[in-house]
Chain A
Amino acid sequence: MTTTIPIGGAATEVTVAQAIEARSPWQLAWRRIRHDRVALISACYIALIALLAIFAPVIAHIVGHGPDTEYLHTGLTPQGLPRPPSGTFVFGTDDLGRDLFVRTIYGARISLLVGAASSLSAVTVGVAIGLLAGYFGGIVDVVLARLVDVVLSLPFLLAAIALEVVVGPSLLVSIFVIAFFSWAAVARIVRGQTLSIRENEFVEAARSLGASDLRIMVIDVLPNLAAPVIVYTTLLVPSAIVFEATLSFLGLGVVPPTPSWGNMLSESLGFYQVAWWFITFPGLALLTTTLAFNLLGDSVRDALDPRGDRLLAAIRKRR
């Protein structure tokens, strides 16, 4: 404090006290993320993909190629093979003469939609189940924890294929299937965390104040779960995207001709020897997007857990 501040002035004391604004754990985490270059690059890349996905129709209009339109004359060679990347078709064309660039950005819509929708619903269900099981314990826990065990022990690809075959493939079914096979892992993590949080005296204190179970769960337990849940969600999104691509690749996800990265890869299989671009661009899109989500997830985890390796690395660097 500088000497210009009059000593003992009541008004000054108040302003000084207000100047020392407490930073919440979230603000601290946010500051750490902002200083993390990998996180920033990943976030920017994801934002770029998201923008391309959102404005895909606009871009398609500017390019002048629809996602499902087959350009039999301009898009195919005289032999009927896909055309390589050029000024007209930036990513080249596929076996039906469709613009791969436009199809790839339309595929991003499917991937991001499925990734976000299925992981959000998986997290919602998982948090609710895990919280109930961990908080109440006893018979509630026994029943819910066994349910989680059952879901986790299902061979998920087999069960997913069976379900899609029975119900018939569609986007909604894919989201449901992915969420159904993802919530159990979230529930297990949340249950474990809740079990340890429940033992804190602040939960007992809330009970002795007369708080209801719901209030304790929402106000006292949930905020302490936020860090692991956020981290797990960011890591769930890429796995959901890959899961959707797998289903589409097997012809069980999004129904052609709607483009998705999975079914584009599947279509390209017969042409990888004559048209490298056909398999490369959707494959790269899938790889880079999931990589970006995974890297961001790692950074978020480090930012929310200040005692983690990140801090150690920073100390080591300073030496």
Chain B
Amino acid sequence: MTAANGADGGRPLLRLTDVVKHFPVRQSLVGRGGASVRAVDGVSLSVSEGETLGIVGETGCGKSTLARCASRLYPLTSGRIEFDGQDITGLSRRQLRAVRRNVQMMFQDPFSSLNPRRRVGSIIADPLVIHATVPRAKLRARVQELMELVGLNPEHYNRFPADFSGGQRQRIGIARALGLQPKLLICDEPVSALDVSIQAQIINLLADLQDELRLTYVFIAHDLSVVEHVSDRVAVMYLGKIVEVAEAERLYAAPRHPYTAALLSAAWIADPDQAAAREQIVLRGEVPSPVDPPSGCRFHTRCPWAQERCAAEEPPLLPAPDAASHLTACHFPLAAGQKAPARSVP
């Protein structure tokens, strides 16, 4: 999925500025306690037209929340979202309808994302009916066209989701999302619930559709190799913040943030000789609670290179000296090939 126009090629289609989403923790029936889960805590990103931006991070780091904020499924706590030059942060539900045509989502769970009581044809027709873009008489033809586009047998429009496999269900999800011919498709872990062989099929389908329909993707996953394969640029999230953004090849070849380096060193390598040769950065401890994140750099509690300054001061997202598009939020970014200090974590 290497679109010709990368990060600096197209104009920005989606731009997030300091997006914050806190979920209040309910403590009693009547009042609300002061505590809140800081799921997304100040994220700025932009996605150019035609590119694929991958977002990785471990479970619970706020990837899905960010996706739902970007598509305005959740109201923001603060921050700003622009789509195609238009500020959509404060739009009402009615005003959002026009935006919905251009921004669609694809969901993680192929089982719960399709209503089991409805026929597939009616599920795929949903956006067309809601936005009344296709006259009733032509609805079935359009649905079958969409089914064919995503590689489903158009004769199966009358079946129920239960009659399809996980991969086929994700295809149904894609067909539903593409019905309105959106510009941006936000994929929230679209393949993580599928078998590996099926994952490849869905990813290839998404790539073909991108070429065919000039789509822009935000692709969320926790599988690093999937994201590397798919993305032009990759953003790494940790505890509600972006810690590093760069072109995919650069990020995978020379990560500058210790967390990215640790993630990459934990990924599986198919070749056992290579796997034995490389050095793994083993992170200690658990991910801290997003209700009460650590001070300064959020990663300092687990970072093998952490110093006093890391606990005190929050590092801004700054460009690397040799590449303006490679941003890292770290006081002491890694040089290429730097190794972890032995037992430096107390």
Contact = CB atoms under 8 A, between A and B. Distances in A.
A17 B115 contact: no
Given A21-B158, A22-B159, A201 B109 contact: yes
Contacts of B156: 17, 22
Q: Which of B71, B119, B127, B153 has the most chain A CB atoms inside 10 A of its CB?
A: B127
B162 to A, nearest CB: 8
B29 A224 contact: no
Given A202-B112, A204-B73, A210 B160 contact: no
Contact of A223 (B29, B115, B126, B173): B115
Interface residues of A, number: 27
Contacts of A219: 118
Contacts of A207: 73
A14 B105 CA distance: 32
Contacts of B153: 17
Interface stretch (B96-104, B205-213, B264-272): B96-104
Contacts of A24: 119, 160
Contacts of A202: 112-115
Contact of A205 (B101, B113, B131, B160): B113
Interface in A183-228: 199-202, 204-212, 215, 219-220, 223-224, 226
A25 interface: yes
B324 interface: no
B73 A208 contact: yes
B10 interface: no
A203 B176 CA distance: 13
A201 B176 CA distance: 13
A210 B100 contact: yes
Interface in B64-111: 68, 71, 73, 93, 96-97, 100-101, 104-105, 107-109
Contacts of A200: 112-113, 115
Interface residues of B, number: 36
A4 interface: no
B170 to A, nearest CB: 12
Contacts, number: 76
A257 B130 CA distance: 56
Nearest to B115: A202
A209 B126 contact: yes
Given A201-B109, A208-B73, A215 B130 contact: yes
Contacts of B163: 22
A17 B155 contact: yes
Contact of A210 (B109, B112, B118, B127): B127
A206 B73 CA distance: 10
Interface string B154-177: 011011100100000000010010
Contacts of A220: 115, 118
A18 interface: yes
A219 B156 CA distance: 21
B276 to A, nearest CB: 40
A285 B335 CA distance: 89
A142 interface: yes
Contacts of B100: 208-210
Contacts of A205: 105, 107, 113, 173, 176
A140 to B, nearest CB: 15
A119 B117 CA distance: 25
A25 B73 CA distance: 31
Contacts of B104: 208-209
B83 to A, nearest CB: 14
Given A209-B127, A220-B115, A201 B108 contact: yes
A224 B104 CA distance: 24
Contacts of A142: 29
Contact of B118 (A201, A212, A223): A223
Given A142-B29, A209-B126, A22 B113 contact: no
Interface in A205-262: 205-212, 215, 219-220, 223-224, 226
A226 B97 CA distance: 29
Nearest to A221: B115
Interface in B233-282: none
B113 A201 contact: yes
Nearest to B97: A210
B116 interface: yes
Given A201-B112, A208-B71, A208-B104, A22 B118 contact: no
Contacts of A17: 153, 155-156
Interface of B: 29, 68, 71, 73, 93, 96-97, 100-101, 104-105, 107-109, 112-119, 126-127, 130-131, 153, 155-156, 158-160, 163, 173, 176, 180
15 contacts: A17-B155, A22-B158, A22-B160, A22-B163, A24-B119, A25-B160, A200-B112, A201-B113, A204-B105, A205-B105, A208-B104, A209-B104, A209-B126, A220-B118, A223-B117
A-B residue pairs, 4 tightest by C-beta = A201-B113, A210-B100, A22-B159, A17-B155
Interface of A: 14, 17-18, 21-22, 24-25, 142, 199-202, 204-212, 215, 219-220, 223-224, 226
Given A202-B113, A204-B73, A224-B116, 11 more contacts: A17-B155, A199-B112, A202-B112, A209-B126, A209-B176, A209-B180, A210-B96, A210-B97, A210-B100, A210-B127, A210-B130
